[in-house]
């Protein structure tokens, strides 16, 4: 079974600075999806970014980018120019491709605090 | 983008009663929906996968007789917590798939007194 590990329960960053959240995963599959989700205090889960494992190019969405290292099974999230609205829980998630399973496997999350 | 709604957003019920939570995909059809449970300051725990027109698939350790799931249409799945007890108090989140993405509902806070 696949597992996702987020080793940083909490992180903090100064407004306008850059922060990187870590995620590692374990799988024997060669093709899969990886996601970062944000859960603000409202508790609404919001998709931040998605990476397909077969793509070597790291995904980018505005101030959010990932460093995907397939061999190392690492998938970190970089938030540039941090804003107060970025404060939230961030969850890394894994999803298999094919096999009829669309289940997400979540890490335990990292709480990000943004200091003004 | 795809929108998923949940109703109610917050419900309080007495111990021993049943409560139903609805999950709707508002602007798309979802053959598969998922139900999660989230305890405070913890991650999402998948409870079951809901498939339209068939029985739900429950994760190991989830009591299927306690958490009844019905997916009667392509836009609606319901979770019924039967004979609720205080330990069932939690935050329940549903999601629905569209274009290979999972879109999440805003969640339902259940408090059992």
Residue A1: what pLDDT?
Answer: 83
pLDDT for the residue numbered A100? 64
pLDDT of residue B17: 97
pLDDT higher than 80, residue A98: no
Residue A93 reports pLDDT greater than 90: yes
Contacts of B6 in chain A (CB under 8 A): none
Q: What is the pLDDT of residues A11-70, one digit of tens each?
A: 999 999 999 999 999 999 999 999 999 999 999 999 999 999 999 899 999 999 999 999
Q: What is the percent of chain A where pLDDT is above 90?
A: 90
Q: Would you call B43 an interface residue with chain A, using a CB distance cutoff of 8 Å? A: yes
Q: By the 8 A CB rule, do A35 and B94 touch? A: no
Q: What is the DSSP letter of A57?
A: S
- B31 pLDDT band, cuts 50/70/90, is confident
> Which residues of chain A does B46 touch, with a Cβ-Cβ cutoff of 8 Å?
103-104
Q: How many CA atoms lie within 13 A of B32 on its CB side?
A: 15
Chain A: residue whose CA lies nearest to B96: A102
Contacts of B48 (CB under 8 A, 6+ apart): B34, B35, B56, B57, B58, B59, B62, B64, B67, B69
- State residue A99's pLDDT score: 65
φ and ψ at A107, to 5 degrees?
-80, 180
C-alpha A82/C-alpha A76 separation (Å) is 16
């Amino acid at each position: 079974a696949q597992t996702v590990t987020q080793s940083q329960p909490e992180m903090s960053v100064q407004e306008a600075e850059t922060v990187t959240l870590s995620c590692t995963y374990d799988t024997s599959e060669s093709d899969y999806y990886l996601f970062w989700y944000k859960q603000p205090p409202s508790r609404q889960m919001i998709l931040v970014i998605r990476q397909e494992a077969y793509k070597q190019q790291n995904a980018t969405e505005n101030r959010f980018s990932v460093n995907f290292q397939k061999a190392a099974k690492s998938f970190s999230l970089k938030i540039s120019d941090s804003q107060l609205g970025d404060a939230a829980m961030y969850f890394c998630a894994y999803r298999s491709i094919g096999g009829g399973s669309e289940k997400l496997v979540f890490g335990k999350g990292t709480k990000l605090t943004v200091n003004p | 983008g795809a929108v998923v709604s949940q109703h109610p957003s917050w419900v309080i019920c007495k111990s021993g009663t049943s409560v139903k939570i609805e999950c709707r995909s508002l602007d798309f059809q979802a053959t598969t929906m998922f139900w999660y449970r989230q305890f405070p300051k913890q991650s999402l725990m998948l409870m079951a996968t809901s498939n339209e027109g068939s029985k739900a698939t429950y994760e190991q350790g989830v009591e299927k007789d306690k958490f009844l799931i019905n997916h009667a249409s392509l836009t609606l799945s319901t979770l019924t917590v039967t004979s609720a007890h205080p330990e069932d108090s939690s935050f329940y989140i549903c999601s629905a798939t569209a274009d290979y993405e999972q879109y999440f509902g805003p969640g339902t806070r259940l408090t059992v007194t």
